[in-house]
Amino acid sequence: MNYQTFQPHSDLEALVKCYWTLEVPADTDAQRQRIIPDGCIEMAFILGDDIKRYTSEDDFILQPRAMVLGQTIAPFYIQPTGYVNTFAIRFYPFGFSNFVTTPIKNLANKETPIDLLFGEKPAKALEQKIVQAADTKERIEIIEDFLLDKLNKKATIDKIVKTTIDALLTTKGNTPINSILKDDLSKRRQLERKFLKQIGISPKQLGKVIRLQAALKMLLNEQAERLTSIAYESEYYDQAHFIRDFKEFTGTTPKAFLKDENMVLSSLIYKNG
């Protein structure tokens, strides 16, 4: 399994967190992998064989080969049908809304083909260029040209949303929303509306995901010997609170997560950012 990340051009670094690639040799006995929320929106191009996304224990769909995966608030399973080769763009929570007119909340918890967001002809042209590119460097150049062309030069990240996200990221999800807004209820309602429009989930949900990310990295990098230490460092009320939130977003417990072969991909992604 070869997972790599690449940094964006300086003109896009405020909106794009990274580009990433994943290559996995074909395996006739490939296991399902549980994908857990990370607070980001991603645009992905499947360059290898098809990938299944399970909608129930037995039912699945084939993921679009050029798609945007919106905000997710629950884990889901995917399974390769053969050789995995994926190129993707990971946007900051507020980033993707700057490139589309579609309400971000409409993208949540599902895959959306890029032709529904950018138009059939531009999307098809982009997909062909990405598929035919010689290497990752060329793919990054292609997608950056596309994004910079789409970016509305007059568009700015709404200050109230940006301030909230910055505070959540800086404190690893531990800043109460009311303290950011200084208990102004009118601003709280305004923030909720703007978050749904620009991010796709609520401020509280994003804070929980960011806090879980920090705890997961500690767990995977063995920065604490006991779960109680991780819960304390991540500012959960107690170990039970940590385990409850962990299970909500991953579908399993911290101890089971480390031993679960269905979590190999998520572990790799979280450990390496």
Environment class of residue 257 by beta-carbon count within 10 Å: exposed (0-12), middle (13-18) or buried (19+)? Answer: buried
The pLDDT tens digits for 228-270 are 788 877 778 788 888 888 888 778 888 887 777 776 666 666 6
Lowest-pLDDT range, 20-24, 33-37, 269-273? 269-273
Phi/psi of residue 215, nearest 5 degrees = -65, -40
Tokens of 47: 């360059």
Residue 271 covered by a domain: no
Residue 198 covered by a domain: no
User: How far apart are the C-alpha atoms of 200 and 233, rounded to whole Å?
Assistant: 28
CA distances (Å), origin 8, targets 113, 214, 258, 264: 23, 23, 31, 26
Residue 63 covered by a domain: yes
The answer to whether the beta carbons of residues 201 and 108 sit under 8 Å apart is: yes
CA 149 to chain centre: 23
Residue 77 covered by a domain: yes
Does this model's pTM top 0.75?
no
The pLDDT tens digits for 12-31 are 988 899 999 999 999 988 88
Residue 138 covered by a domain: yes
105 vs 6 pLDDT, higher one: 6
Residue 86 covered by a domain: yes
Containing domain of residue 53, as a range? 2-150
We report the CATH number of the domain holding residue 82 as 2.60.120.10
Q: What's the total number of domains in the chain? A: 1
Tokens of 237: 């009320």
Residue 261 covered by a domain: no
User: How far apart are the C-alpha atoms of 192 and 204, rounded to whole Å?
Assistant: 9
The answer to whether the beta carbons of residues 202 and 195 sit under 8 Å apart is: yes
227 vs 71 pLDDT, higher one: 71
Residue 34 covered by a domain: yes
Tell the residue number behind the tokens 């070869």, with chain if given: 2
